Structure 1
Amino acid sequence: MNISEVMTRDVRVAAPTDSLQSAARLMDEYDFGLLPVGENDRLIGMLSDRDITIRAVAQGVSPLEGKVRDVMTSDVKYIHDDESVEEAARNMSDLQVRRLPVVDRDNRLVGIVSLGDLSLSEEDCASAALSSISQPVGTDAYL
């Protein structure tokens, strides 16, 4: 089964020039803890609620004045939409993440896949990935 069959397609994207407050409002409105950051139809980063809290607010950066680009993670790990569910689970396990952005072969963002999405597939790979991800490692990428 391919990722395109289980991924979430309706993805909201933050712009790098958006204020942290507007990104937080978007997260609140749609109940997301993570937003892809895009520019010119390309994925350039990921922003988590933890990024806003730890990298901005805790450091005294105003959510009104701080920009998404200032605190986003720019080293984005992703998976292609034609890769298998098993490959996604393996990647999530290796990277210790619960979500991965999904891009097509032109590297355009087409969705996001979560462990929850994987658990809905016919493959039995989400539980092994979750078990591995749940181990303490010292990283919080894409919580």
Structure 2
Amino acid sequence: MTIGELCNRDTFIVQKEENIVEAAKLMRVFNVGDLIVVSTGKKGNTPIGILTDRDIVMKAVAENSDPQSLTVADIMSDQLVTAKEEDGVYESIENMRRHGVRRLPVVDKEGCLAGILSVDDLLEFLGEEVNGLIGLVYKEQHA
């Protein structure tokens, strides 16, 4: 299975110039913990960073900064780690582990945003695979 088949295609984006208060409101409205920061071009939205609820807490609130004066660019993670749609599951798990990230924006062949893969997505997928194996063992034991 490829990451393109597994990733969530419903992504929520923000521009780097956006105020973090507005970005946080978007997170609340859509009940998400991250927004992909994009640069919009003719081919589509190219991911350039990610803003998480943790970024807002650790880099703005905990430092007593004035949230009204901060933009997404001020606190986003710009050392973005991405996956390609054709990457494999285990390759992506290793990529996440190596870089210590819980979310991977997924890009298409042109480098445009295609989706997002989270640790939760992977756990759900792997859980279903393990359940399938358990069912097979159980079936063999009772045959």
Whether TM exceeds 0.5 here: the answer is: yes
The bucket for the TM-score relative to the shorter chain is 0.7 to 0.9
Between the aligned partners of 2:55 and 2:124, the Cα distance in structure 1 is: 28
**2:22 maps to 1:22:** yes
Deviations 1:103-129 (A, max 9, x none): 112110110001222234369899xxx
* Offset, 1:72: 0.6
Deviations 1:39-85 (A, max 9, x none): 12211111111211121222232222210001111110010011111
Aligned positions of 1:20-99 closer than 5 A: 20-40=20-40, 41-99=45-103
Moved more, 48-57 or 104-113: 48-57
TM-score calculated relative to the size of structure 1:
0.79
* Counterpart residue identity of residue 81, structure 1: E
Task: Name the counterpart of 2:112.
Answer: 108
Task: Name the counterpart of 2:9.
Answer: 9
The structure with the largest alpha-carbon Rg is: 2
TM-score calculated relative to the size of structure 2:
0.79
Unaligned runs of 5+ in 2: 131-143
Between the aligned partners of 2:67 and 2:129, the Cα distance in structure 1 is: 38
* Offset, 1:92: 1.4
CA RMSD of aligned residues (A): 2.1
Between the aligned partners of 2:84 and 2:29, the Cα distance in structure 1 is: 27
Between the aligned partners of 1:79 and 1:119, the Cα distance in structure 2 is: 17
Unaligned runs of 5+ in 1: 127-143
Moved more, 115-124 or 85-94: 115-124
Deviations 1:3-54 (A, max 9, x none): 1111000101011011101110111112211211011221111111121112
SS at match of 1:76: coil
SS at match of 2:62: helix
